[in-house]
Every structure is written in C-alpha cells, then in structure tokens.
C-alpha cells in the first residue's frame, strides 16, 4: 500500500479536443508549484493525476496543488491491492489516518472504472461498508445524509480516500491568452488579477509609482502583493513606471479636478504600449462601479476612449465586501491594507470630476505633450520577475 496525492479536474474534462493541452498545462502548473517541495513521480490514471511524494510532505503538497487553477479537489489517497480484501483493509487504514470519524455516519461511494473487476459498484460499497461497521463500533451508515463519504476508485489500481480538499476550479493558466494587470497597492487589483488568472489568463503586472513622492517601501509592498498572486499565476513579469513627471505636468497645465481621469488615461496608454510590445492581449483593472468618485460609467467611458485594446474589469459589478472575501481567501488582504501611500492617492484631488466629458478632457490633453511624456516614462521603466 502507498499514500499518494490525487488531483481531480473539473471543467477540463468537458473541453473536448482541447483536453490534452489543458491537462498538460495543469500538470506543468502543478509541477511548478511543488518543485520546491520535491516529489518522486507524477502520473495520470483515467482522468485523475496522482503525485507520489514522501508521506511527511503530503499535507504541504496538497496546499500547493490547491492553488493551481483547473482543479476541483485534491485528496490524500491510499493505493492498495486491487482485491476486495485489499480495499477493505485500506478503508480501515484510511479512517485511522484521518482520525475524525468517531460517532459519525458515513456511506461508501465506489467508482468502478475497470469493468472487469470481480464485483459491481453497489456490491463493493456494501462489502466495504459492512467491513468498516464490523471493525469500527462508533460508526453508522446513512446512505441519504452521511456526515462523510468513503471513496473507492477502481481503475488500473485501486484507491481509497475520505477527504476532498476543494480547489478553486477555473481553467489552467495559459489556456486563455495573456493579460496586463494594472496592479496598485490596494485590495481590488490583486483580486481582479486572481479572477482573470482563474479563467486561464497568463498575468503580467504594471505598477505606477511617483518616487520620491511615494516611498520605496510602497513599491516593495506592491512587489509583495505580486508575489502572493504569483503563487496562483506562476512567475509574473512586473513593469514599473514612474508617473511623477506626468502628474507634475497635469498639475501645472490642467484643472486639478481632472487629475484622476487624465492620469488614468496616461496609465492606459502606457499599458497599451507595453501590451503591444510584449504580445499581451488585454489589460485588467480592479475597478468596481461606484466604489470611489472616479469609478462612474462616465469615467470608465472616458478612460476607455484613450486606448483601443480591450480593458477587462472583472470586479465591475461586485460589492466591496465580496471583493474583500476573495482577497482574504487568496491571502492578499493583510498585505493590501498595510498603510502605504499610492501614487494616485498623493495626487488625488479633493473633489474629482465624477461625470467627465470627453470633449473637456481632450481639450485639457491638448495642453500636454502626451506622446513625449509617455515616451519618457517608458524609457525609464523598470522590469522585474516575481515568483
Ligand atoms: P485598488 O484597490 O486596486 O487600489 P481602488 O479601489 O483604489 O483600487 P482606484 O484607485 O480607482 O481604485 O484604481 C482603480 C484601478 O486602477 C485599480 O484597481 C488598478 O487596476 C488601477 N490602478 C490604480 N492605481 C494604480 C497604480 N498606482 N498602479 C497600477 N494600477 C493602478
Ligand atoms: Mg487604490
């Protein structure tokens, strides 16, 4: 008998002819996440992936594998002799290893992929269930509403397990093109990146700062946020742009109330340039309608108008409380709420325009050398790899 980690995929299974590419991607992403832990072998057996790791590394492996998108659940399974007696003994071992079965109800659920196996699924469930009852006197069977299920998979080999650790679902990274995440130090943008990554988008990040108006520590915080995100997305290329000159020119030449909208249009244009030069398909922001004065339909429209590339806003219709829940779940919340100034908050006007008119904004931009400001900012861009 041998303890293994098993990985079950969701939507992947449905994706007809792309199936193999998706499995390969998921497998690659899993290998990447567990490389540092170290494993002995990794193999597929009828739609599940099995990882052979030393027993003391199983818990950590499960934790890391769970972060890979495309996975429905991960389990610690016992591979055993493929006979009814072997399975019965394994069932007891699995319960003892788990240790949380006292005074609970259960049922056995058998998945018999190998149709040549000596018994049919209901017979296997009944035999194994009976054996467990004989050997554990504080357990009862309840086939309708059991406290837990004991799973038996019969394939080329036989596997027994109880716990299913939920994954995030979604699609494996790399199966849906590439996106440039506009990553601030706030709560929203890491969540936005997570959500698109979950749909298979490979993520790069773009951060704007105003050093020395904003501190190095504030930049560090954003890098740490990217690092948290990279546990799910894999390595992230992060572009950093200093916006200080742009803010100064806006302040000198334009209406203060338009600062936010004008600077956002600069951000989008710079982002678009980076996308074009690096074969990135879309930009992603953490905007959510009505959350702050600048996030109105009118602003979103005027911001969009600055570029041709699609801008994805996965949080646009979400409430803050729901966004916070996700940020807690992915582990970015505590980092996001650390109090460091953001490049925009430093220059945020007291009363920003909330219903900007494109005509006015274009007029203001005429007072700026937009192309030169963008060229200058990009020429000083810094690029780092985060994993
Ligand atoms: P967040 O919580 O993500 O900071 P927010 O609620 O503070 O968002 P805004 O400041 O209006 O909202 O920013 C909206 C979006 O614009 C952000 O989610 C992010 O995608 C982008 N953005 C804002 N500031 C920056 C920045 N300094 N660098 C990169 N992107 C930014
Ligand atoms: Mg912010």
Name the nearest CA neighbour of 377 among 275, 188, 247, 287: 247
Nearest protein Cα to ligand 1, atom 30:
182
240 lines ligand 1 (CB under 6 A): no
Task: Give the bridge partners for 109, in sequence order.
Answer: 151
186 lines ligand 1 (CB under 6 A): yes
Query: What was the pLDDT predicted at 350?
Result: 82
Query: What was the pLDDT predicted at 96?
Result: 97
207 lines ligand 1 (CB under 6 A): yes
Only one residue has tokens 């890391």, namely 64
What's the 177 CA to ligand 1 centre distance in angstroms?
22
Query: What was the pLDDT predicted at 24?
Result: 86
Dist. CA 219–CA 341, nearest whole Å: 10
Query: What was the pLDDT predicted at 153?
Result: 97
Query: What was the pLDDT predicted at 249?
Result: 96
Query: What was the pLDDT predicted at 343?
Result: 65
pLDDT in tens, 257-310: 999 999 999 999 999 999 999 999 999 999 999 877 678 999 999 999 999 999
Query: What was the pLDDT predicted at 219?
Result: 94
Query: What was the pLDDT predicted at 14?
Result: 56
Query: What was the pLDDT predicted at 23?
Result: 83
What's the 207 CA to ligand 2 centre distance in angstroms?
11
Atom of ligand 1 nearest to the CA of 182: 30
Q: Name residues of the chain where pLDDT drops below 50.
A: none
* H-only helix segments in the chain: 11-14, 19-34, 58-66, 84-98, 121-135, 188-198, 216-233, 244-253, 259-277, 297-304, 320-330, 333-336, 343-347, 358-366, 370-379
* H-only helix segments in 35-174: 58-66, 84-98, 121-135
285 lines ligand 1 (CB under 6 A): yes
What's the 360 CA to ligand 1 centre distance in angstroms?
23
Query: What was the pLDDT predicted at 340?
Result: 78
Name the nearest CA neighbour of 294 among 255, 253, 264: 264
Query: What was the pLDDT predicted at 243?
Result: 96
């Amino acid at each position: 008998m041998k303890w293994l980690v098993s990985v079950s995929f969701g939507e992947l299974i449905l994706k007809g002819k792309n199936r193999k590419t998706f499995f390969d991607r998921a497998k690659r992403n899993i290998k990447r996440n567990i490389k540092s832990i170290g494993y002995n072998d990794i193999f597929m057996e009828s739609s599940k992936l099995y990882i052979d790791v030393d027993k003391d590394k199983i818990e950590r492996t499960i934790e890391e594998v769970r972060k890979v998108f495309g996975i429905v659940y991960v389990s610690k399974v016992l591979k055993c002799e493929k006979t009814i007696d072997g399975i019965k003994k394994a069932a007891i071992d699995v319960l003892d290893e788990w240790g949380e079965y006292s005074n609970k109800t259960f049922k056995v659920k058998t998945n018999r992929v190998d149709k040549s196996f000596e018994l049919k699924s209901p017979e296997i469930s009944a035999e194994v269930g009976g054996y467990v009852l004989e050997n554990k006197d504080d357990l009862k069977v309840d086939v309708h509403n059991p406290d837990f299920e004991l799973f038996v998979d019969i394939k080329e080999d036989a596997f027994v397990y109880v716990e299913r650790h939920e994954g995030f679902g979604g699609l494996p990274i790399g199966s849906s093109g590439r996106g440039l995440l506009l990553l601030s130090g706030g709560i929203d943008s890491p969540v936005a990146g997570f959500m698109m990554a979950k749909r298979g988008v490979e993520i790069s990040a773009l951060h704007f700062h105003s050093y020395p108006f904003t501190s190095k520590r504030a930049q560090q915080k954003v890098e740490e946020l990217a690092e948290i995100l990279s546990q799910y997305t894999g390595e992230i290329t992060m572009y950093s742009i200093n916006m200080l000159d742009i803010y100064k020119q806006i302040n000198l030449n334009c209406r203060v109330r338009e600062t936010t909208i004008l600077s956002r249009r600069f951000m989008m244009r710079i982002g678009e340039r980076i996308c074009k030069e690096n074969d990135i398909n879309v930009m992603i922001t953490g905007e959510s309608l009505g959350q702050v004065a600048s996030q109105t339909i009118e602003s979103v429209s005027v911001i969009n108008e600055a570029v041709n590339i699609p801008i994805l806003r996965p949080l646009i219709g979400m409430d803050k409380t729901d966004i916070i829940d996700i940020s807690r779940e992915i582990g970015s919340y505590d980092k996001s709420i650390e109090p460091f100034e953001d490049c925009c908050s430093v220059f945020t006007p007291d009363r920003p325009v909330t219903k900007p008119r494109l005509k006015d904004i274009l007029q203001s931009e005429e007072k700026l050398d937009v192309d030169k400001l963008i060229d200058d900012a990009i020429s000083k861009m810094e690029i780092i790899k985060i994993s």
